[in-house]
Amino acid sequence: MSDPQRVPLRGLNVGWDGERTERLLTSVEGRLGRRRVFVRAAFAAAALVAVAAGVTVALQGGHGAHVTASNRPAEHSVAPAAVRLREGSEIRPASAASNVRVVEENDSRVLVEQVQGAARYVVVPNPGRTFEVHAGLVTVKVVGTEFMLERRAESTWVEVARGKVAVSWSGSDTEVVLGAGESGLFPRAAAQAAGSGTPQREAAPPPEKERESAGYRARVARHDYSGAFALLARDPTLAGSSVQDLLLAADVARLSEHPSEAVPYLQRVIREHPGDERAPLAAFTLGRTLGGLGRTREAMTMFGRVRSAWPGSPLAEDALLRQAEAASKLGELSTAVHLAEQYDRDYPKGRRRAEVRRYAHLE
């Protein structure tokens, strides 16, 4: 894994054993050459446009977030301190311009005023209380989610990382619901708010978002996975939503020694892009990752998913082997025997037969 010429997709192989698995993965990746070209091009472009921007944050009294600027490069900047509410939610100021005040906090209601700048909200699910953020004319209501707000003159940028939020604004009865991956600038003109009610995406992200994205990809390009993960952990929306982006985020988490953080990204590939040619690779990797985390039963289920959802994948044979291995670890001998019999039927000349039978205690 230390070869600097290997693209991040190879990071998906961390911890895999068996020469057959390596050969199969090499075969799969060979058919995904287009992805490699895209990754290298994206990395090269990102490295050229990366912009250093650093901030430090100081919290002064009460819940109001007050920040001071720093001229240090982004690589050495101090991560913004979070405002942690008593009920567990967090407000993370994003820059020196951030000014956030908690106006009210009790068991049934949390009311926050975002005066200026940008901040990320990580809200703990609690149906028994309301959580509202006022930003100028805009009000955002949530139950449990993660989203970013940024004040821009008289408007407010809203970007949702997970969950859903309801956005409304003064002078209008309209309420727009944004889901994970959706964003918008509010208030909207009456004509724009009318119609289908489907949230519309802005043509371009805010400048700060562009800098963060460029910095994230530049770190990946130079194999600084720890630095890239630090940015990704602070702003999960940097991961993007395409198969390419999600696999890259999973690589960053795994190669920075945060395998559990790779799980959601791999799950999204399987859930949101099941028809993509890289979906079985993501599923197999997820199975191996879960197994490495000690979540053996979940791993066994995921390997079964590889076989049932993508039976023609070159990874299906190895998935059956890994199922048998997981069954053996769980002490479910009858299941391992059944899988060994299935292997004999599906792969009568398979090279992994001896291994499968060993897990089933048949040899």
Task: Give the per-residue pLDDT at 93.
Answer: 85
187 with 175: CB under 8 angstroms?
Answer: no
Rounded average pLDDT over 146-172: 84
Rounded average pLDDT over 95-101: 79
pTM metric for this prediction: 0.47
283 with 306: CB under 8 angstroms?
Answer: yes
Rounded average pLDDT over 38-55: 39
d(CA 9, CA 29): 8
Torsion 183-189-190-194 (CA) sign: negative
Tell me the pLDDT tens digit for each residue of 311-356: 888 889 999 999 999 999 999 999 999 999 999 999 998 888 999 9
Task: Give the per-residue pLDDT at 248.
Answer: 92
Task: Give the per-residue pLDDT at 133.
Answer: 92
Tell me the pLDDT tens digit for each residue of 12-36: 443 444 444 445 554 554 555 444 4
Rounded average pLDDT over 119-126: 88
**How far does Cα 341 stand from its chain's mean position?**
38
Structure tokens at 50: 């990366």
Torsion 42-43-48-49 (CA) sign: positive
Rounded average pLDDT over 75-84: 59
Please name each of the domains of the chain with its CATH number.
8-32+240-359 (1.25.40.10), 55-207 (2.60.120.1440)
Asked if residue 42 has pLDDT above 70, the reply is: no
Task: Give the per-residue pLDDT at 25.
Answer: 52
Confidence of residue 128 (pLDDT cuts 50, 70, 90): confident
